[in-house]
Amino acid sequence: MLKVFNTINASNLKGDILGGVTAAIVSLPLALAFGVASGAGPEAGLYGAIIIGFFASLFGGTPTLISEPTGPMTVIMAAVVTAMIAQYPETGLAMAFTVVMIAGLTQVLFGLLKLGKYITLMPYSVISGFMTGIGCILIIMQFAPAVGVESPSGGVTGAVLALPDTLSNVSYTEAGMALATLILIFFTPKRIKQWIPPQLIALVAISLVSVWLLNDPDIKRIGEIDISLPSIVFPTFTPDLIQTMILDGIVLGMLGCIDSMLTSVIADNLTRSEHKSNKELIGQGLGNMFSGLFGGLPGAGATMGTVVNIQTGARTALSGLTRVAILIVAVFGASTLISVIPIAVLAGIAIKVGIDILDWSFLKRAHKVSKQTSLIMYAVLLLTVFVDLVVAVGIGVFIANIITIEKLSTSQAKNIKAISDVDGRLPLDSNQQDLLNKSQGQLLYFYLSGTMIFGVSKALSRELKSLGDHHALVVDLSDVSFLDDTVALTIENLIKDAQGLDKSVIMLVNKPKNKEKLMRMGFEKLLNDADFVHDRTQALTLANEKLAQNGYI
């Protein structure tokens, strides 16, 4: 029982209840805004906030994490909903919710495979460009609803191309409401923010003004929403889109993993605790699977809700369950009031979320970091906005890793030394130095140290050009902490070349894991057991003996 459920107890009852209530107040306007922005409807946002919050709190691994629909997840979901409905108007929405289920299943599998600790092992330049791109998409896509114009088709590109038409049809009343929403959110005094989220203040205040003072029939509102027990959305596939749906689900699941893991780290820093990453992924995955099953938006750990929850005093998952209970009461008891909320107000709230997602700290310092890092960040940003999220992350990670490997390889290449006489660059004692000098320049001592990754294989081959001038070779791996398969294969080719030139080869390997790798790769077929030694003195003595036997010294 204790291993299945999150940390839930009554040891911090007052703090957890206050945290849950406050987090619910923060969640309500965001859930509505994301529901409308996704194209799935406000109900989908509310269902997602409740269902994901419940399962993630119950089965997750971060006691104070608040899980709900988030800006990045909403952007992906909006693209999925638009694409599916465009091709299958009748079943497209059900197919989009099936993608959410696939995303949840992906997260559960990641958790079961214990991949949680690897999720955030991504270059910061890629994460920064990706998240900033998501923020830009959210701002661009919500601009038209914010000024009272129907959202154009064609995604971001369509929205940008339709900008002149959008500007020529602006509703100044609705644009004023969106602007007032942003002003209220940005400039609400801190002492008030401590008690009431500015998003809720803007939502209530401007909605009341629009009903009591403006009363304009042309104002676009949420309208009547079906707040009832959600019905089951059975998984729906079509043969021609099944591959696309699975890929979208994996992308959505991966984004949710990254979002949740980063937020869990923030929660750890605030509470001085340590989350269980794999367990958290399983909880998030279950939440998204059931959210999709009941027509809810996908979600992840939400930074804003989590921070508010902790700052109000929460310490266990009881706070998340309290938030869910408050949301259920508020939603089912206030559906009539929700129907009059202007779309422009929700668009203003979503734009503020987009602005917050932008990585301002990196953007301000982009000119101070290396050109390579900046170029990767901006490339990922542009690819995210105008091409494809998967392409953006894939290309960004590939380029960033290639650059990192090249730098690491250049650094590690300094740890490769091919020497035939004593010059102070080898870690040899006086006796070993005498043995090396005794070889009279006929012995090439090949010394490697540190981490030998595949990027150093080129430097390895370059050092071996001097092999032809010697008649014996010692390959010293005693200080190698990690031996990459590519480097091992390069050494194998070195031995074959040396033997082809009728030269003696001695392998110095004193780490069992390195020797096991060489044996698995078939080195025992190249060398005799006697040619594998464990210390430098033994290696140099054996090399001199072979040189003497062959008449070279």
Q: Taking the model in full, what pTM does it have?
A: 0.74
Question: Where exactly does CATH 3.30.750.24 map onto the chain?
Answer: 414-549
The whole-number pLDDT of residue 1 equals 40
- How many helices and strands (H and E) does the chain possess? 24, 7
The whole-number pLDDT of residue 423 equals 58
- Structure token digits, residue 365: 């310092």
| Residue 463 contacts residue 412 (beta carbons within 8 Å) | no
Output b/e per residue, 349-383; b: 16+ Cβ within 10 A. bbbbbbbebbbeebeeebeeeeeebbebbbbbbeb
- Given phi > 0 = left and psi -120 to 50 = alpha, else beta, which region is 223? left
Instruction: Give dist(CA 271, CA 64) in Å, integer.
Output: 9
For each of the chain's 553 residues, which pLDDT tens digit applies?
446 788 788 888 888 998 898 888 888 888 988 998 898 988 999 999 999 999 999 999 999 999 999 988 998 999 899 999 999 999 999 999 999 999 999 999 999 999 887 776 778 788 888 888 888 988 998 999 999 998 887 778 888 999 999 999 999 999 999 999 999 999 989 888 877 888 888 888 999 999 888 777 888 888 777 767 788 999 988 888 899 999 999 989 998 998 898 888 888 878 888 889 999 999 999 999 999 999 999 999 988 889 888 988 889 999 999 999 999 988 887 777 788 889 999 999 989 988 988 888 888 887 777 788 888 889 989 998 888 777 887 888 888 878 877 777 776 666 667 666 655 567 788 888 888 888 888 888 888 888 887 777 777 777 666 666 788 889 999 888 888 888 888 888 888 888 888 889 999 998 889 888 888 888 888 888 888 998 899 999 999 999 898 888 7
- Distances in Å between the Cα of 21 and the Cα atoms of 10, 191, 287, 325, 406 are 16, 18, 20, 9, 51
Instruction: Give dist(CA 73, CA 504) in Å, integer.
Output: 61
The whole-number pLDDT of residue 305 equals 87
Distance of CA 109 to the CA centre of its chain: 16
- Distances in Å between the Cα of 207 and the Cα atoms of 195, 320, 338, 344 are 20, 28, 9, 10
The whole-number pLDDT of residue 421 equals 62
The whole-number pLDDT of residue 418 equals 66
Instruction: Give dist(CA 97, CA 67) in Å, integer.
Output: 18
CATH topology of domain 414-549: Transcription Regulator spoIIAA (3.30.750)
